Amino acid sequence: MATATVAGPGTLSRRDGAAPWRHMDFTLLVAVGLIAGLGILMVYSASRNLGHDPTYFLKRQAVFCVLGVGVMAAVATVDYRIFRDFGPLLYAGVVAALVLVLSPLGSNSRGAQAWFQIAGFQLQPSEPAKVALIVCIAAYASHFRGDLDGRRMLGALLLAAVPMGLIELQPDLGTMLVFAAVLLATLMVSGARPRHLALLLLAGVVAVVAVLQLGVLKQYQRDRIGAFLKPTENVRGPAWNLNQSKIAIANGGVTGKGLFKGTQTKLSYVPEQHTDFIFTVVGEELGLVGSGLLLVLFAVVVWRTWRAAALAKDLSGTVICIGVLAMFVFQVFENVGMTMGIMPITGIPLPFMSYGGSATIASFAAMGLVLNVHMRRFS
């Protein structure tokens, strides 16, 4: 470009709409692209034997990724501050969608009222809701210019409690926990008082203990936690699933069994393997080399997101990036940790890896937000 002789980056780019694209984070793009590509391959390996058409899930996941890239580009194009300014509207939309999905318009699958059935595809509103809520919190925080006293923080909590409560009604404990992680991280960088954050953490611990003690949990949730605590019980059930998952990962060893050669994978010993337990395919077929590389790629995404948060032009950009970061880190840690037996089993997908349209597209949208903040760090 011929606009090299400029006084400062800010003055010029404000007038030039294409300028932000020059500050694109290609490292982040490449990392996301590699993860998504590996995800498609792993979904194929895990789902080859599931139906009549071995490429059914492969083709659909590829389509989701293409759609996701489109959504990511669209989200990156519109200045995040415009999203921020529409925060209240976004919030209303999220609440409306979560209410609607609980109505007869939504559909129930495997015990959770969490999907809209639209022309052969299932849309899970809680996935885009996660991303939208991040923007809402950013809007709320920047509205108070990073000064969240007790009352304001309580307000944020109340606002977040509505969608979280709606999700728990589905029920979807995992997604609710993602919300909680996002909330905690964003409140922290939004300027909440340390003692309030400490109180919030304490309340969280008390809540978890109370939930475990008071028997609020559904039977399947208790089984899953039991499986995590006592993995040898329950021959066929959550504990069996968990053992098979660990066997698959460890079976890979350092170099893996080779693509399509994992016996645990090929013979369907790991349940839900193309969705929640996709990491076991990487572990078994590509070994420590492959699964370690995948974790490194995730770490790169997180690092670039953290960096975008640090470089952001304003507080709302920082909060958005930290929200996305919290969402990713929590999902990766919980999902990978669950497959390796260090976290209880919850139905949380691994971003860009697990088969599923809503989650994949929502993850790309979240990346769009990070790219958005990053490339507008000077404007």
Partner 1 sequence: MSSDNTRLRLSIVGIVVVSLFSTLFARLWYLQVMDTGTFQALATQNRVRTVYDPAPRGRILDRQGRPLVENRGYQAITVIRHEVAGKPEVVARLAALLGVSQTELQRRIDDRRYSPYKPVPVAENVPEETVVYLRENSLAFPGVEAQTVAERTYPHGSLAAHVLGYVGEINDAELSARQGKGYRLGDDIGKSGVEQSFEDDLRGTPGATRLEVDAAGNVLLPALSTTPPKPGHDIQLTIDLDVQGLAEDSLQKGLEAARGQRDRTTGRGFEAPAGAVIVMDPRDGSLLAMASNPTYNPADFVNGIKPDLFAALQDPNNHYPLTNRAIGGQYAPGSTFKLFTALAALRTGIIAPNTTFLDEGAYTVRGCKNNKCTFRNAGGHAYGRVNLPQALTVSSDAFFYNLGATLWLGGGPNRQAIQGAARDLGLGERTGIALAGEQKGRVSDPDTRKKAHEQNPKAYPNGTWYAGDNVNLAIGQGDTAVTPLQLADAYAAFANGGTIVRPRVVARVLGSDGQSVHDFAPEGVRKVAIDPGQRSAILQGLKGAIANPEGTGAGAFAGFPLLNFPVAGKTGTAQVVGKQDTAVFVAFAPADNPQYVVAVVMEQAGFGGAVAAPVARRILDGLAGAPPGPVQLAGGTD
- Residue (38 or 315) nearer to partner 1, CB: 315
Which token pair is 270? 């790991």
Does 306 help bind partner 1 (rule: CB under 8 A)? Answer: yes
Q: According to CB under 8 A, which one of 244, 316, 354, 372 is a site residue for partner 1?
A: 244
How many residues does the structure list for the chain? 379
Does 63 help bind partner 1 (rule: CB under 8 A)? Answer: no
Does 288 help bind partner 1 (rule: CB under 8 A)? Answer: yes
CB of 98 to partner 1, least distance (A): 27
* CA nearest neighbour of 180 among 137, 148, 142: 137
- Draw the binding track, 199-228, toward partner 1 (x: CB under 8 A; -: no contact): ------------------------------
Does 185 help bind partner 1 (rule: CB under 8 A)? Answer: yes
- Name residue 192's beta-bridge partners: 148
Does 318 help bind partner 1 (rule: CB under 8 A)? Answer: yes
* CA nearest neighbour of 180 among 170, 165, 199: 165
Segment near partner 1 (CB under 8 A), from 52-60, 68-76, 158-166, 285-293?
285-293
Q: According to CB under 8 A, which one of 45, 175, 291, 316 is a site residue for partner 1?
A: 291
Segment near partner 1 (CB under 8 A), from 17-25, 27-35, 225-233, 308-316?
308-316
Instruction: Return contacts of 168-172, CB within 8 angstroms, 24+ apart.
Output: 169/102, 169/113, 170/101, 170/102, 170/112, 170/113, 170/114, 170/126, 171/112, 171/218, 172/112, 172/114, 172/126, 172/347
Q: According to CB under 8 A, which one of 112, 309, 324, 366 is a site residue for partner 1?
A: 309
Instruction: Give yes or no for a contact between 339 and 245, defined as CB atoms under 8 angstroms apart.
Output: yes
Q: According to CB under 8 A, which one of 1, 7, 214, 254 is a site residue for partner 1?
A: 254
**Ramachandran area for residue 256 (φ above 0: left; ψ -120 to 50: alpha; else beta):** left
CB of 340 to partner 1, least distance (A): 5
* CA nearest neighbour of 204 among 222, 220, 183: 183
Q: How many CB atoms lie within 10 A of CB 281?
A: 34
Rg (CA), the chain: 21
CB of 141 to partner 1, least distance (A): 10
* CA nearest neighbour of 71 among 40, 36, 116: 36
Does 353 help bind partner 1 (rule: CB under 8 A)? Answer: no
Please provide the DSSP assignment of 215-238 as one string: T-S-HHHHHHHHHHH-TTS-SSSH
In angstroms, the CA 154 to CA 72 distance is: 32
Does 139 help bind partner 1 (rule: CB under 8 A)? Answer: no
Does 249 help bind partner 1 (rule: CB under 8 A)? Answer: yes
CB of 249 to partner 1, least distance (A): 5
Does 237 help bind partner 1 (rule: CB under 8 A)? Answer: no
CB of 208 to partner 1, least distance (A): 18
Contacts of 75 (CB under 8 A, 6+ apart): 365, 368, 369, 372
Distance of CA 179 to the CA centre of its chain: 10
Q: According to CB under 8 A, which one of 56, 85, 337, 378 is a site residue for partner 1?
A: 337
Instruction: Return contacts of 55-59, CB within 8 angstroms, 24+ apart.
Output: 57/274, 57/355
Q: According to CB under 8 A, which one of 283, 317, 344, 368 is a site residue for partner 1?
A: 283
Segment near partner 1 (CB under 8 A), from 1-9, 84-92, 224-232, 294-302?
294-302
Instruction: Give yes or no for a contact between 321 and 337, defined as CB atoms under 8 angstroms apart.
Output: no
Does 248 help bind partner 1 (rule: CB under 8 A)? Answer: yes
Residues interacting with partner 1, by CB under 8 A?
145-147, 185, 188-189, 191, 243-244, 246-254, 263-264, 266-269, 283, 287-288, 291-292, 295, 298-299, 302, 306, 309-310, 315, 318, 322, 325-326, 329, 332-333, 336-337, 340-342
